[in-house]
């Protein structure tokens, strides 16, 4: 099925973007959209023949230069595209003559850009022209272009000129000075050098003609070497021109001229190069592809966003990183922001880990620049630049110059105040280490970045003696609308988190790599006093939140700012900052992009403070309506989509996802001409994998708990985790949004499992006494699914929980025995800890650490579980239910449910899992069981819940489901049926008892 884009003249297939009409009004944005690249360079989708006011550009990673006084920028390199076609004296160009047919295609599978058209010259000659080009993924220094020329209704003289344009501009400024140029066998070459950074570049090119007899002439006009051929074109006969180009800079080799010439001399033909390029792309897509079925637009657009990141990712260089606008446009001058580590990196971390390592190593190589910035501002350690280029020094422009001749220039404060990047980079490094287990890289590279950046916080925080707390004052948070705030929650918590991990890394180094630890102690002047100070900051840093409601104040005084209703501005086409002005917007509760919600997202995976299901709901309700999600920042929609998905707001999640997904294809922000929105593209991957795929990372590997959007019938992808690949094939169905379960190398069962029509269960006569509670339905029970709790029902992990809590309590010197453990049955982890601690005072950070510690002990214990740990009667009942066509789900509050199921060996008997990651409200709220029923594709009244805790029975009844309680009546007596255990229980037994309850209550 083909879906045509809105007013963009686009058709999307699974892999190919097709433009059906040339629109000069969209020239620059389409140049961005049709960018190709290979991880070494990127070339905008400009026409080979040129067009008035076009912005042709080829950007090579790491080739930066200065615009005197103003800024540093990624340099527009010499243009390798020019291919001029002259037909009987008329130069082919789209602003002259007549376009009779037009088609441009970008094939994502092989990074191939092609264009075919029929053009009638001003003199009346009609010719079919086809172009195609690619930047070789197999060899980053090779570029290739091919042109097919077929006269339609004439015989005549055709001239072709293939050139290298040595006069590229960065929107008015030429960074290059000429060194040399010349000709070689069947080719030309051009040598240039940047004016300030003194980077040398050489391009070499050759041309081949087939389908006619033609000779080549070489012109070496200064800065514009050209190969020219002229031949007699004949009607309906095709002539093919191939242009092959090589490029090197002094960043990779000592002599770029020799390297480019030698490479060119040994190149095979175009077809051979294209085949190698296809094979290289096949390997990349094998690892990185995402298959979506049921949504044609998303199928292509997700791949498109991945493609744009893949072609910008450095494969062979760890001294560079991906700019905010990738290698596709002049926006942000090619500078690197936190966008790379927080938004783009996860794609590579889980599909191309070697590239993720390169991106993070860039920050290590640029530590000297970060140290210079810290020293400039009077701080210690490494203070990373808000905008970084080649050296790591701060390159954020100091002023934004107004286009209005009489307007006031605007000071850009991010360079001075937006310091959360200093924790964002260590956050990414820590996640890389956790995902890869790359200890060698961590001790050699990552640890130094984490520790030196932590030293900065040590010198940046201020101690407030009146509060007896540490503060971070005068900052800009993730929300950039407010430019001078104190104690921004995002910044303070990320700094605290960073110091926590810095201590962990320091201790790990001391234990595992003592020589490296000693080396860094001496180099960074690390002392035991500094480590103690870090611990004091961790314990006493100010964090403004209400522990009862979970509501977090974005910064000190935010709640006192004037509120605003964004609905009053409906229909606008610009940001709230543009409407209110830079100064006025500081006074309002309007947010450019997620700040508190961004913090919760970053803490979500590990459930670190302040993340909790309650906190997410509370802060979403407050901050989402105040966020300028349409025009504030392109970073926002994807993050909001993930969190909305977590909150079961499936329609809103999908709408936000589409806004992010189409930001460049539909140019819905009106600035695609500046370049690809790289952070949004990275957010798209995260929204699909972590949001809709529901991926959670466990000690056993990634686990899926999907929330597929309505209409998606399949989601397939693979993830790399700690040296192993994990395949996910998640299926949806039944017209709802949450289906399927996937774990590494296991297909999900979702709606693809038992999905037939089920016969009503007959009434059986077996009088069993039942408690006085309402039954789910006035009719005879039509049971189609069972939802089992795990602990105390299918297995007994209570002993393991007890041992975990006991170990923790002993370490903390708190009395705890089996009698005290009884009070923890059916209680959440945090509530259990609170009961154990009693009235003893602990900080939130200490509470979080203890919860993590206990869970670690529990996870270690469950690794020893086997199928022998199933309770009597459990496996027999599961097998009988499956044979009867009854669906089986798990409804457990545990976040380790998946691991327990695998260890028990019953994963193949389970159709769906609802666990501690699935819903916001725990039992006795009905959410968990309602979620499980939705996954199974059945109604609540068709569901039987088997529970051993009072809270679970209450949750089942609140959900309108049948409840079977296991255990003493005083605990589970509210259930419709009470049993001592599952031993000896059959489906026939239960069906009889439930039928009797149904008759009794009617």
Query: Among all residues, which ones are annotated catalytic?
Result: 480
Which residues on adjacent β-strands are paired with residue 157? 232
Q: Is 450 exposed, middle or buried (0-12, 13-18, 19+ CB in 10 A)?
A: buried
What secondary structure letter does DSSP report for 983? T
Query: Side by side, which strands form the sheet with 912-914?
Result: 912-914, 887-891, 785-788, 943-947, 962-966, 977-979
Q: What angle do CA 153, 132, 306 make, to 5 degrees?
A: 145
Its sign, for the CA torsion 91, 93, 95, 97, is: positive
Cis peptide before 924 (omega within 30 of 0): yes
Residue 810 vs residues 777, 802, 814, 858: alpha-carbon distances, Å: 49, 12, 6, 15
Q: How far apart are CA 677 and CA 670, in angstroms?
A: 12
Q: Are 985 and 878 in contact (CB under 8 A)?
A: no
Task: Using alpha carbons, list the distances in angstroms from residue 183 to 81, 180, 188, 237.
Answer: 18, 11, 4, 31
E strand or H helix at 655:
helix 650-661
Q: Are strands 187-194 and 126-135 parallel, antiparallel or unpaired?
A: unpaired
Q: How many CA atoms lie less than 13 Å away from 86 in the CB half-sphere?
A: 12
- The 3-state DSSP class for residue 562 equals strand
Report the 3 state secondary structure along 925-973. Answer: CCHHHHHHHHHHCCCHHHEEEEECCHHHHHHHHHCCCEEEEECCHHHHC
Angstrom distance (rounded) from CA 200 to CA 63: 9
Q: Which candidate, 976, 710, 971, 623, places its Cα nearest to that of 823?
A: 971
Residues facing 400 on adjacent strands: 410
What are the CA-CA distances from residue 443 to residues 355, 365, 448, 458 (Å)? 18, 15, 8, 22
Q: Whole-angstrom Cα distance, residue 199 to residue 563?
A: 52
- Contact at 8 Å (CB) between 694 and 705? yes
Q: Please give the structure tokens belonging to residue 653.
A: 């999640």
Ramachandran angles phi, psi of 335, nearest 5°: -85, 155
How far apart, in Å, are the Cα atoms of 1002 and each of 245, 278, 777, 958, 977? Answer: 84, 69, 9, 19, 16
Polymer length of the chain: 1002
Read off the DSSP letter of residue 442.
I
- The alpha-carbon radius of gyration of the chain (Å, integer) is 32
CA dihedral 221, 224, 229, 233 (to 10 degrees): -120
Cβ proximity of 360 and 397 under 8 Å? no
Measured between alpha carbons, how far is 47 from 50 in angstroms, rounded to an integer? 5
d(CA 299, CA 15): 8
Backbone angles phi, psi at 377, to 5 degrees: -90, 0
């Amino acid at each position: 099925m083909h879906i045509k884009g809105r007013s963009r003249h686009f058709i999307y297939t699974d892999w190919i973007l097709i433009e059906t009409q040339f629109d000069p009004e969209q020239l620059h944005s389409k140049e961005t959209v049709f960018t190709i690249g290979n991880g070494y360079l990127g070339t905008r989708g400009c026409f080979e023949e040129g067009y008035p006011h076009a912005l042709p550009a080829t950007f090579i990673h790491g080739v930066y230069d200065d615009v005197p006084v103003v800024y540093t920028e990624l340099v527009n390199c010499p243009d390798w595209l020019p291919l001029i076609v002259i037909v009987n004296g008329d130069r082919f160009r789209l602003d002259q003559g007549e376009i009779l047919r037009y088609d441009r295609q970008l094939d994502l599978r092989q990074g191939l850009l092609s264009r075919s058209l029929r053009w009638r010259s001003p003199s009346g000659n009609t010719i079919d022209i086809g172009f195609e080009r690619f930047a070789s993924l197999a060899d980053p220094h090779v570029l290739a272009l091919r042109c097919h020329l077929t006269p339609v209704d004439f015989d005549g003289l055709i001239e072709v000129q293939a050139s290298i344009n040595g006069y590229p501009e960065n929107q008015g400024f030429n960074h290059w000075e000429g060194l040399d140029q010349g000709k070689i066998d069947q080719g030309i070459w051009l040598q240039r050098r940047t004016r300030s950074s003194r980077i040398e570049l050489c391009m070499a090119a050759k041309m081949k003609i087939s389908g006619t007899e033609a000779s080549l002439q070489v012109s070496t006009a200064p800065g514009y070497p050209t190969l020219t051929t002229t031949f007699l074109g004949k009607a309906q006969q095709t002539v093919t021109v191939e242009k092959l180009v090589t490029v090197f800079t002094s960043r990779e080799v000592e002599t770029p001229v020799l390297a480019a010439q030698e490479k060119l001399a040994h190149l095979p033909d175009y077809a051979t190069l294209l085949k190698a390029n296809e094979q290289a792309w096949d390997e990349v897509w094998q690892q990185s592809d995402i298959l979506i079925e049921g949504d044609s637009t998303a199928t292509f657009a997700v791949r498109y966003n991945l493609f744009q990141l893949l072609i910008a990712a450095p494969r062979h260089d760890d001294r560079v990183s991906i700019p905010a606008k990738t290698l596709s446009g002049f926006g942000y001058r090619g500078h690197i922001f936190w966008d790379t580590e927080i938004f783009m990196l996860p794609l590579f971390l889980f599909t191309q880990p070697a590239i993720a390592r390169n991106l993070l190593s860039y920050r290590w190589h640029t530590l000297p620049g970060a140290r210079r910035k810290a020293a400039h501002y009077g701080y210690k350690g490494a203070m990373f630049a808000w905008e970084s280029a080649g050296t790591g020094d701060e390159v954020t422009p100091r002023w934004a110059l107004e286009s209005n001749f009489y307007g006031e220039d605007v000071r850009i404060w991010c360079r001075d105040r937006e310091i959360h990047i200093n924790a964002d980079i260590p956050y990414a490094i820590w996640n890389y280490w956790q995902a890869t287990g790359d200890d060698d890289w961590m001790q050699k590279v990552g640890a130094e970045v984490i520790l030196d950046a932590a030293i900065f916080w040590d010198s940046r925080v201020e101690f407030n003696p009146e509060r007896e707390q540490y503060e971070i004052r005068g900052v800009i948070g993730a929300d950039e609308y407010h430019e001078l705030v104190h104690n921004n929650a995002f910044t303070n918590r990320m700094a605290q988190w960073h110091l926590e991990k810095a201590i962990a890394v320091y201790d790990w180094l001391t234990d595992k790599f003592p020589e490296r630890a000693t080396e860094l102690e001496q180099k960074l002047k690390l002392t035991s006093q500094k480590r103690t100070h870090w611990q004091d900051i961790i314990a006493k840093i100010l964090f403004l939140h209400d522990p009862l409601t979970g509501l977090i104040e974005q910064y000190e005084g935010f709640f006192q700012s004037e509120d605003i209703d964004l609905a009053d501005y409906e229909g606008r086409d610009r940001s709230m900052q543009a409407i209110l002005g830079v100064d006025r917007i500081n006074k309002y509760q309007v947010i450019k992009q997620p700040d508190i919600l961004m913090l919760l997202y970053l803490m979500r995976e590990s459930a670190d403070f302040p993340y909790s299901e309650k906190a997410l709901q509370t802060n979403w309700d407050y901050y989402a309506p105040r966020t300028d999600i349409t025009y504030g920042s392109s970073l926002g929609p994807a993050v909001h989509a993930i969190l909305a998905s977590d909150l079961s707001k499936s329609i809103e999640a999908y709408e936000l996802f589409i806004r992010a997904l189409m930001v460049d294809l539909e140019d819905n922000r009106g600035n695609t001409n500046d370049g690809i929105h790289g952070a949004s593209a990275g957010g798209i991957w995260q929204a699909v994998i972590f949001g809709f795929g529901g991926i959670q990372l466990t000690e056993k590997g990634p686990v899926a708990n999907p929330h597929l959007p309505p209409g998606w019938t399949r989601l397939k992808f693979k993830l790399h985790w700690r040296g192993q690949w994990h395949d996910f094939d998640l299926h949806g169905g039944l017209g709802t949004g949450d289906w399927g379960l996937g774990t590494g190398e296991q297909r999900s069962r979702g709606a693809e499992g038992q999905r037939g029509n089920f016969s009503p269960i007959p009434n059986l006569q077996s009088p069993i006494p039942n408690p006085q509670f309402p039954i789910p339905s006035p009719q005879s029970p039509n049971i189609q699914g069972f939802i089992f709790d795990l602990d105390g029902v299918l297995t007994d992990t209570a002993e393991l929980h007890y041992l975990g809590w006991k170990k923790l309590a002993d370490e903390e010197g708190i009395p705890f025995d089996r009698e005290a453990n009884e009070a923890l049955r059916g209680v959440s982890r945090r509530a259990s800890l609170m009961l154990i601690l009693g009235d003893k005072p602990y900080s939130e950070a200490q509470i979080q650490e203890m919860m993590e510690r206990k869970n670690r002990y529990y996870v270690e214990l469950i690794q020893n579980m086997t199928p022998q740990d199933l309770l009597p009667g459990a496996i027999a009942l599961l097998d009988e239910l499956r044979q009867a066509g009854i669906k089986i789900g798990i409804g457990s509050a545990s976040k380790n449910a998946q691991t327990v199921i695998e260890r028990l060996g019953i994963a193949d008997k389970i159709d769906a899992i609802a666990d501690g990651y699935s819903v916001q409200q725990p039992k006795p709220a009905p959410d968990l069981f309602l979620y499980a029923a939705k996954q199974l594709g059945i109604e609540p009244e068709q569901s039987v819940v088997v529970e051993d805790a009072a809270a679970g029975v209450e949750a089942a009844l609140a959900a309108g489901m049948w409840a079977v309680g296991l255990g003493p009546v005083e605990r589970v007596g509210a259930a419709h049926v009470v049993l001592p255990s599952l031993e000896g229980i059959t489906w026939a037994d239960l069906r009889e008892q439930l039928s009797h309850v149904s008759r009794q209550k009617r």
